[in-house]
Amino acid sequence: MLLRRLPGLLQARPKRMTEACGGRRLHVYAGNPLKNRGGAAAAESLATVLLGNDGGDHKVLPLQKGRPLTRSDVAASLPTWRLSWLPPARLGLLPAESFVYLGSDAGAAHYWAVDAGELDGGDGSSFVDLRTLMHAADWSDEQAMEELAIAGHAKALLEWHGASRFCGHCGGAMVHIEAGRRKECTNPSCRKRSYPRVDPVVIMLVVDKENDRVLLSRQSRYAPRMWSCLAGFAEPGESLEEAVRRETWEETGIQVGEVVYHSSQPWPVGRSSMPCQLMVGFFAHAQSLDIRVDHDELEDARWHSREDVRRALAYEEYDATRRATAEKVNQMCNGGEDKSQRTQSSYPAMSGELGPMYVPGPYAIAHHLISSWVNENGSDGVDSLSRKSTSFSSL
Ligand SMILES: [Zn+2]
């Protein structure tokens, strides 16, 4: 069987654990607690509120160019960020149809997102790039993890709205329906509907079982010394397993046999123009070993021994970088940083002696694919990984 699932792993609610990397059972951007997303009644209720009448409990997250409004909580020893939810009255000048529904929680509050345009965030808050919040988040802080998932959903929905103003069939204007969770063409002879989409990206750790090593690669945009898994978009008309084999072959000339599913991660902070990618992680058995790097795609690709990869995972800068980024967010929220500098953070902040290499931090599925392989006992590799569901507990 080419695709093996790890049953039930992703159904679990985020669970506080004490292991390294925060011990989360869910990837960053997964585990959104706003599960109830039927928006029609909520939209009616919000319209009432915006008209100045009392209504239900509504909370709005403003975003500016995809950056959620954020405040800093300095009560803890290390500054902690939180999303800054506003009452609809603070945004009453925006038309009701510009609000998109995010869902409701168990407490029956309704949550919305809106593109805030040039709105000023106000004292103690700032619009902060989602990647920066991701790097600043404490992995054991469940609220921060849930808010990252909500903010990722909000960013992706608003970007989809911004990129689908006109009908792809007839060119007519599209309007929100179902509280912004769908769109429909206004041309009466067309009426085509449009739905938010995700773009699947396969990400694979290619394993050479015989020699107990894995294939890691570098792209020119990576920070110095960072290596990671191969990845690429699935194309129309191919399965995910086929995409794993094709991308690996195209980028490195390695032939892949068995492909084994590991886990998946929503990724609303991709560098392409797509609102939300879905990273689908696999282990891939190498059937050939000679590397031929496609230099249009990669800077380099090499086999790395288990010991070298273990050392790369033990990189000590992850937590230091998180703390430095948390301080930066605090400064941004409290006016201590030049607003013109509010660009995406570079990760990690390099310091100290240079080690031979490191891999992406625990925010990335690549980290967990790599650590799952490294932390397996013995060298039987992929087969045991697919059976041993506990390998996922390092998330
Ligand atoms: Zn149309």
178 lies in the same domain as 272? no
72 lies in the same domain as 146? yes
**Residue 346 within any structural domain of the chain:** no
The listed range with the strongest mean pLDDT (6-15, 74-83, 323-332) is 323-332
Q: Is 204 helix (H, G, I), strand (E, B) or coil?
A: strand
**Residue 349 within any structural domain of the chain:** no
* Between residues 98 and 231, the one the model is more confident about: 231
100 lies in the same domain as 125? yes
**pLDDT above 70 coverage of the chain, percent:** 78
**What pLDDT is recorded for position 212?**
97
CA atoms within 13 A on the CB side of 357: 17
d(CA 326, CA 323): 5
Lowest mean pLDDT among 149-153, 234-238, 321-325, 364-368: 321-325
177 lies in the same domain as 261? no
Residue finishing a domain among 160, 194, 228? 194
**What pLDDT is recorded for position 53?**
55
134 lies in the same domain as 51? yes
pLDDT in tens, 53-102: 555 688 899 999 999 999 987 776 778 999 999 988 888 778 878 889 89
* Between residues 147 and 14, the one the model is more confident about: 147
User: In a 10 Å sphere around its CB, with 0-12 CB exposed, 13-18 middle and 19+ buried, how is residue 330 labelled?
Assistant: buried
Ligand 1: distance of its center to the CA of 168 in Å?
7
Lowest mean pLDDT among 58-62, 204-208, 229-233, 301-305: 58-62
Ligand 1: distance of its center to the CA of 163 in Å?
15
How large is the average pLDDT for residues 320-324?
88
Q: Supply the CATH number for residue 249's domain.
A: 3.90.79.10
67 lies in the same domain as 116? yes
Ligand 1: distance of its center to the CA of 165 in Å?
11
**What pLDDT is recorded for position 355?**
62
Ligand 1: distance of its center to the CA of 162 in Å?
17
Ligand 1: distance of its center to the CA of 167 in Å?
5
Residue 159 structural domain: 28-194
**What pLDDT is recorded for position 118?**
80
Residue finishing a domain among 151, 169, 194? 194
Ligand 1: distance of its center to the CA of 37 in Å?
26
Ligand 1: distance of its center to the CA of 275 in Å?
21
Residue finishing a domain among 194, 229, 249? 194
**Residue 336 within any structural domain of the chain:** no
Residue 282 has pLDDT above 90, yes or no: yes
Domains in the chain, number: 2
Q: Is the peptide bond before 348 cis (omega within 30 degrees of 0)?
A: yes
Ligand 1: distance of its center to the CA of 169 in Å?
5
Ligand 1: distance of its center to the CA of 181 in Å?
18
For residue 176, give the nearest of 265, 98, 86 by alpha carbon: 98
Specify the DSSP class assigned to residue 173.
B
Ligand 1: distance of its center to the CA of 189 in Å?
8
CA atoms within 13 A on the CB side of 89: 6
**What pLDDT is recorded for position 76?**
66
* Between residues 24 and 212, the one the model is more confident about: 212
Start-to-end C-alpha separation, the chain: 25
Ligand 1: distance of its center to the CA of 41 in Å?
27
**Residue 347 within any structural domain of the chain:** no
What residues does the ion ligand 1 have nearby, CB within 5 Å?
167, 169-170, 172, 185, 187, 190, 192
55 lies in the same domain as 165? yes
**What pLDDT is recorded for position 384?**
45
103 lies in the same domain as 225? no
101 lies in the same domain as 157? yes
306-313 and 365-374 helices, crossing angle to 10°: 130
* Between residues 383 and 360, the one the model is more confident about: 360
**Residue 172 within any structural domain of the chain:** yes
CB atoms within 10 A of CB 93: 8
116 lies in the same domain as 60? yes
Q: How confident is the model at residue 388 (pLDDT cuts 50, 70, 90)?
A: very low
**Residue 3 within any structural domain of the chain:** no
104 lies in the same domain as 39? yes
Lowest mean pLDDT among 194-198, 275-279, 371-375, 385-389: 385-389
Q: How confident is the model at residue 11 (pLDDT cuts 50, 70, 90)?
A: very low
Q: How confident is the model at residue 260 (pLDDT cuts 50, 70, 90)?
A: very high
**Residue 187 within any structural domain of the chain:** yes
**Residue 296 within any structural domain of the chain:** yes
Q: Supply the CATH number for residue 140's domain.
A: 3.90.79.20
Ligand 1: distance of its center to the CA of 157 in Å?
20
102 lies in the same domain as 150? yes
Ligand 1: distance of its center to the CA of 336 in Å?
48
